[in-house]
Amino acid sequence: MKINVVKGTRDLGPKETARFQEIIDKLDSISYFYCFTEVTLPIIEHAQLYKRSVGETSDIVRKEMYAFEDKGKRLLVLRPEFTASIVRTFVNNKIHALIDLPFKVHYHGPIFRYERPQAGRYRQFYQYGVESIGVNSPLIDAEVITYGYAALSFIGIENVILKINTLGDDDSRNKYREIISEYFQKHIHKMCHDCNERLQTNPLRILDCKIPSDQEIIKKAPKIHDYLSLASRERFNEVTKLLDQSDIPFEIDQTLVRGLDYYSEIVFEYHYYSDEGKTLGALGAGGHYSHLVKELGGPDLPGVGLSFGVDRLVEVLKEIEEDDNEEDYNSFVLFYLIPVGDVKIEDVYDVLMELRKQGGYSYDMYHEKKPLKTLIQKAKKRDARFLIFIGEDELKNNTLTIKNMKTEEQMVVNRQDAKQVIRSLFFSSMREG
């Protein structure tokens, strides 16, 4: 019986896996330049962590968590995001007392959300992100936004549209929530089911609705910037000034409210549109969180961070580079060993192990006896650059016969010299291309 992959999840072949790895390597080097250090956290967490952070009224907690009871009757979830876990580790390990703040980390790994799968939206996807916790400065907000912009450019994604907004401090947001609830009360009978629900749970999220008829109503809604406290307005102006000074282009989007409840002050998203105007949704997003550390039992310290959706980065890069989607499931090999004549396959296996011990390059063979012609075909299918023939003579004289598949040149090499010869063959093959 054939068993399908779970809906919303994907198998990544070798080529796709290499693309992910390449992006992660590049993001790692940007993280290094910005002095973020790497942490690795569990994939399963207590459900309570997200109720207290992402929020009971968020879509993630209400509808999207992969939650289950373990054998010890604990209610656990496959993590639906990273930020809460990072703050949890900050609090649990009392990091504020151990280091000179800010606590600057980067992380990557799989994330799980029970969403409706579509292009660029999966139920298991991969995030890479950074958080800076412990110092309350608009300079750090600007630095994290700049990190994201620089990272996208470094991996090869230009023409990014950076959308930013501020949700203000508690007073500004509470006042605005009242004003906007009052406004939407008057129109809600004409609006979609989700908007009706959000009016009860989290009215600000109505601004996120993408339904065209609702958009008309949303456009005319009161704007958050008219209800900001002086401190929040100044903070937002300071961040935008810093972005201007760093030549980071941005758009202020007053409908950007984000779907996770822990944000206050600045929030932002990075978007990319194809030439035909198509988008996969945000490539990455983040914002400032004033109370999350305290909410999770720690000191009253703020944080700011962002996470990229690596699956979306891969998709966009494939489009930019016009890469075909064809997978190559062959495993790469540089030197392919072939038994010749009546030699025992075990003797060739011994040579294979000896060569591998020397390290440096990839060696392989076929582990069953086959005719010479078949073995050469197999080596060609693997795109092997060199064949190493081992027959009676080679075993008796302690030699290897090596053939360059590109130039067709063949040479006999003493086994004790093999390491050096193979090294020079590798470099000459690099020059040959």
Which residues sit at the interface with ligand HAM, rule CB under 6 A? 81-83, 113, 115, 120-122, 125, 127, 129, 131, 260, 282-287, 305-309, 311-312
Taking the CA of residue 153 as centre, how many other CA atoms within 13 Å lie in the half-sphere pointing to its CB?
11
Nearer to ligand HAM, 203 or 284 (CB): 284
Are 408 and 426 contacting, i.e. CB atoms less than 8 angstroms apart? no
Q: SS3 of 105, please?
A: strand
Q: How far is the CB of 309 from ligand HAM (least distance, A)?
A: 2
**Residue 193 CB contacts under 8 Å (≥ 6 apart), including other chains:** none
Q: What are phi and psi of 110, to 5 degrees?
A: -75, 150
Q: Please, is 42 exposed, middle or buried when counting C-beta atoms within 10 Å of its C-beta (0-12, 13-18, 19+)?
A: exposed
Q: How far is the CB of 369 from ligand HAM (least distance, A)?
A: 48
> DSSP assignment, residue 123?
S
Name the closest residue to ligand HAM (Cβ).
309
Nearer to ligand HAM, 58 or 399 (CB): 58
What are the CA-CA distances from residue 151 to residues 125, 270, 279, 390, 405 (Å)?
19, 11, 19, 49, 40
Nearer to ligand HAM, 214 or 269 (CB): 269
Nearer to ligand HAM, 130 or 218 (CB): 130
What are the CA-CA distances from residue 202 to residues 64, 288, 375 (Å)?
17, 19, 66
Nearer to ligand HAM, 22 or 393 (CB): 22
Are 224 and 166 contacting, i.e. CB atoms less than 8 angstroms apart? yes
Q: How far is the CB of 102 from ligand HAM (least distance, A)?
A: 13
Single-letter code of the amino acid located at 336: Y
Q: How far is the CB of 267 from ligand HAM (least distance, A)?
A: 8
Q: How far is the CB of 86 from ligand HAM (least distance, A)?
A: 8
Nearer to ligand HAM, 115 or 347 (CB): 115
Beta pairing class for 124-133 and 161-166 = unpaired
Nearer to ligand HAM, 131 or 364 (CB): 131
Q: How far is the CB of 280 from ligand HAM (least distance, A)?
A: 8
Nearest to 91 by CA among 291, 305, 307, 308: 291
Q: How far is the CB of 292 from ligand HAM (least distance, A)?
A: 9
